[in-house]
Amino acid sequence: MHWADFRAQRLSERKVPQVIVSGITPSGEFHIGHLREILTAEMIHRACLDSGLDSRYVFIVDSMDPLRRVYDFLSPEYEKYIGVPLAYIPAPNPDGTPSTDSGSYADFFVNPFLESLREIGVFPEIVMNHEAYEDGRFSEKIDLAISKKKEIREIIMDISGRDLPEDWFPYSPRGSNGSMDGVRVTGYEYPFVHWEDDHGITGRADIRKAEGKMPWRIDWAARWIIHQVTCEPAGKDHGAAGGSFDTGIPICKVLGGNPPEKIVYEWIQLKGMGPMSSSSGVTIGPMEALSLVPPEILRYVIARSKIGRHIEFDTGSALFEIADEYERLLSRIETGEITKRMQTRIDTRKGALRLSQVVRNSDPSESIGGVSFRHLSMLAQIKSSDDEVWESLRNSGHLSGEPGDSLAIRLGKMRNWIDGKHFPEDARIIIQTIIGEEFRENTTEEQRLFLRELSKSLENCEWNQDSIKDAIRECMGIYGLKGKDGFAALYWALLGRRYGPRASALISEMDRHTLIELLKGV
């Protein structure tokens, strides 16, 4: 059983409508790791729907979280916003200075991310956490938390092992400049928390408005109740023993709720990106990943891995292998004796395939548009225009009529991948300009004679695939070469390797004169 289906089964025991939630702080650019947060939850949501449960998927944006520090991409002017909720500070300009007309900091980072999510078929209900504070939806729980502050303080100290000061307070009011930093609580009488800030200024925060927020560990537990959350997978940072999940569960109970079960997912790491390193600041965002990888393959990367395992996200040759695996799953029919373990594996993989579809429960075989990822990579390299690719696919019987959207999108992404830095070099088709040493080392005199004959034959033949193919076949016949040996020689000459894409297709894309000159050098 797939992990998402297993979770759905567990959730069904709750006998309530399911509310599956993801939560992310929009403190900067989103990255590929955030997709695991989103997709882990969304796949559980889909699994719930598939098993007939009533389920909603909600993305809570932590827009009420304060700016922690002035990040590298921000100008020093942001110093004054430290401690201010992200919903209430301006978005940065490209040069890092605060803009005057680009909306809030939170929206600035969230909006493009939501766009990416649509591309992978994720349509969450969006909750901006600061709006929940503005609307007073938190007020009852804030009031309750304040009245139970001793109990909550005990829980946090016990479970996390942290020391909280005697005057710890489960609500952080915003001071005179809107920041929650350096603000001391001096008293409480519903609905006002009285405070004094670093500047010696005093005031009061109305807990029914966004004039302050609860610290994370309490905020999280409270929102589970407010939104009736039944499931919220969390990154392993929350999952460590004594972490916010462990304190959230008892705090949620203290506040009168039924907390979700603890689910912790592992991080995604980057691999195969050459000199990439964290110090050089090169990361991969969801937009970039989506510009290279077909959406169902991106979903499959998450779906195929167990929640608790690291994922090495590799935009190089591993993409071919993942795509191959995906395509094999589509066509594979198990034969012979199927053991219990084999059946488990098959069910799990089929579940992963099902949950990888951009459109829920659509036919997986339609997602690849009838053309394998590898084949498309070859065509995209040797055919400069899309129309030629479609023409070729029609000739080979992969396509009839016009390509569908899914296939057109796949080709576009394939071209981005090939043109970019992530494409693996050994998959790149590089036409040789001169005959290299490898050629001489790997071919016989007979093979060379064949190629010389071919170069003559190609001088006059029609420049299309069929004629070229006929010429190749004919010349091989003259020297009695087996197909394998003839083609190998051709590939050694053209590509400096013993294999390659369909030779006639490749040659028909080349300039006749250049090719003949090359072959004359054998």
Site for RNA in 395-424 (CB under 7 A): 396, 398
476 binds RNA, rule: CB under 7 A: yes
Residues 4-23 that bind RNA (CB under 7 A): 23
Task: Provide the minimum distance between the beta carbon of 475 and RNA in the complex, in angstroms, as a whole number.
Answer: 10
- Please choose, from the candidates 123, 115, 129, the residue with its C-alpha nearest in 3D space to the C-alpha of residue 26: 129
Question: At CA 413, angle to CA 409 and CA 418, rounded to 5?
Answer: 145
81 binds RNA, rule: CB under 7 A: no
- Please write down the long-range contacts of 71-79, taking CB distance under 8 Å and 24 or more positions apart: 71/27, 71/28, 72/281, 73/28, 73/29
131: its two tokens: 């709006």
12 contacts: CB under 8 Å, gap ≥ 6: 48, 51, 53
331 contacts: CB under 8 Å, gap ≥ 6: none
Question: At CA 82, angle to CA 80 and CA 84, rounded to 5?
Answer: 100
150 binds RNA, rule: CB under 7 A: no
Task: Provide the minimum distance between the beta carbon of 95 and RNA in the complex, in angstroms, as a whole number.
Answer: 26
Q: Which is nearer to RNA, 65 or 211 (CB)?
A: 65
Task: Provide the minimum distance between the beta carbon of 239 and RNA in the complex, in angstroms, as a whole number.
Answer: 6
Q: Which is nearer to RNA, 17 or 274 (CB)?
A: 274
CA-to-CA distance for 151 and 168, rounded, in angstroms? 12
At 104, give phi and psi (nearest 5°). Answer: -80, 160
25 binds RNA, rule: CB under 7 A: yes
375: its two tokens: 């084949």
Tell me the residue type at 118: R
**Is residue 352 helix, strand or coil?**
helix
Among 49, 429, 431, 461, binds RNA (CB under 7 A): 429
Q: By the 8 A CB rule, do 197 and 176 touch?
A: yes
310 binds RNA, rule: CB under 7 A: yes
Task: Provide the minimum distance between the beta carbon of 76 and RNA in the complex, in angstroms, as a whole number.
Answer: 19
The number of residues making up the chain comes to 522
503 binds RNA, rule: CB under 7 A: yes
**Piece in contact with RNA (CB under 7 A), picked from 51-59, 262-270, 282-290, 350-358:** 262-270
Task: Provide the minimum distance between the beta carbon of 308 and RNA in the complex, in angstroms, as a whole number.
Answer: 4
Binding mask 98-137 for RNA (x = CB under 7 A): ----------------------------------------
Among 497, 512, 516, 521, binds RNA (CB under 7 A): 497
**Piece in contact with RNA (CB under 7 A), picked from 223-231, 285-293, 318-326, 410-418:** 318-326
243 binds RNA, rule: CB under 7 A: yes
CA-to-CA distance for 460 and 474, rounded, in angstroms? 14
CA-to-CA distance for 505 and 463, rounded, in angstroms? 10
Task: Provide the minimum distance between the beta carbon of 502 and RNA in the complex, in angstroms, as a whole number.
Answer: 4
Distance of CA 136 to the CA centre of its chain: 34
260 binds RNA, rule: CB under 7 A: no
**Piece in contact with RNA (CB under 7 A), picked from 44-52, 63-71, 133-141, 146-154:** 63-71
- Please choose, from the candidates 128, 495, 511, the residue with its C-alpha nearest in 3D space to the C-alpha of residue 503: 495
**Piece in contact with RNA (CB under 7 A), picked from 60-68, 287-295, 415-423, 432-440:** 60-68
Binding mask 270-309 for RNA (x = CB under 7 A): -----------------------------------xx-xx
Among 53, 491, 494, 509, binds RNA (CB under 7 A): 491
Q: Which is nearer to RNA, 121 or 504 (CB)?
A: 504
CA-to-CA distance for 195 and 205, rounded, in angstroms? 8
**Is residue 156 helix, strand or coil?**
helix
